Amino acid sequence: MPRTVEGHSRMKFARYVPVLTAFVVSALLLYIASRTRPRQPMFLDLQERVGLKSNTQVWETKEKRSEQKSAPLKGEGEAAHPIPMEETLQSMTNKQLSTLYNDYMTNIQVLCRDKIRMGNIHGGGWDICVQGRYKLEKDNCIVYSFGIDNDFSFDDDVADTYGCEVHAFDPSMNKEDHLRGKLVNFHNLGLADINGNGKRNWPMKTLTAIRQDNGHAEKDIDYVKIDIEDSEWGALRYAFSTGSLKGVKQLSLEFHVFGKEQRSRYISRLNVLRGLYDEGFRIFWTHNNVVYPACRFQSVFDGRQRTRCHEVYFLKWV
């Protein structure tokens, strides 16, 4: 009887031997792979210093990494750039241009692990990264806010929470320059690529002139918010040419593509986005504005439901 029981147990165990063997071999292979896989470093040493992690990662040798330490990255080269050069854009189909534009607007490039919403939760509020060197320093920060539309919730919240010097701009509200509370300075002025009166006879100035007028030409601007209904493209192009984005740590915009869908407009706007990338700005948060009916449309280029209004948040990364 004991032999029969022992034999039965051996047969039962033998049935599990292949399964156990496969499990052990798989675990061993996974362990070996984890120990021999090349290290995948962050794209920029700066990312490690500020405690943030980039979604854009590249394989590189130790020699190449050491070269980057001595020569900080300014432009990654065409192969690594998310937006092609003008010549390539011109050769793309309408569908490819539409897809590239919308994909770029809706993909995060770097990760901010600590961001907060300032102002209204829905319309009128904006997100701020408060991690590492991007955190607003209490009572020692400067914020520019272009496009108010009678909603000061963001501006008031930033001033009350962080004690920032806030400058709010909007020429469409029919209000004179005034001090709102102790820290929010309202300017009856719009942001543009000219200094003078705009199409609606509103007073307009470039970012360069505005920074000079406020004594901020050589100072860092902690946060710049721009929501100026399609005028952002020209204002940004002028800012590139004058270097007036120098010292801007965070930049948030609502990008608009009003009017008829045209390939020339996509190419023009993609060039502006490329300019932002070349200036060192990387997307850490993005939001499609689909609340307002005017923002929703069906693309004639790719047949998909799209939005004309993208809220995009950038960090000055390099």
Task: Using DSSP, state whether 226 is helix, strand or coil.
Answer: strand
Token digits of residue 218:
């050589």
Token digits of residue 151:
């909603």
| Pairing label, strands 142-146, 281-288 | unpaired
* Residue-level pLDDT, tens digit, the chain, 318 residues: 444 545 555 555 566 666 666 666 666 655 544 443 333 333 333 333 334 444 443 323 333 433 343 333 333 333 357 899 999 999 999 999 999 999 999 999 999 999 999 999 888 899 999 999 999 999 999 999 999 999 999 999 999 999 999 999 999 999 999 999 999 999 999 999 999 999 899 999 999 999 999 999 999 999 999 999 999 999 999 999 999 999 999 999 999 988 888 999 999 999 999 999 999 999 999 988 877 888 999 999 999 999 999 999 999 998
> Are the CB atoms for 279 and 315 separated by under 8 Å?
no
Which residues 6+ apart lie within 8 Å of 69 measured at CB?
A: 45
φ and ψ at 124, to 5 degrees?
Answer: 100, -20
H helices of the chain, in order, are 2-36, 45-49, 62-70, 86-91, 94-105, 153-162, 207-213, 232-242, 263-278
Q: How many CB atoms lie within 10 A of CB 193?
A: 19
Nearest alpha-carbon partner for 252 in 219, 276, 216:
276
Token digits of residue 211:
């920074």
> Are the CB atoms for 286 and 259 separated by under 8 Å?
no
- CA dist., res. 164 & res. 155, Å (int): 9
Token digits of residue 224:
């710049």
Report which residue type is found at 173: M
Which residues 6+ apart lie within 8 Å of 275 measured at CB?
A: 236, 237, 240
CB-based burial label for 15 (10 Å; 0-12, 13-18, 19+): exposed
Nearest alpha-carbon partner for 64 in 37, 35, 39:
39
Token digits of residue 141:
């920060």
Q: How many CB atoms lie within 10 A of CB 68?
A: 14
- CA dist., res. 170 & res. 54, Å (int): 35
- CA dist., res. 141 & res. 135, Å (int): 10
- CA dist., res. 10 & res. 166, Å (int): 80
- CA dist., res. 291 & res. 295, Å (int): 8
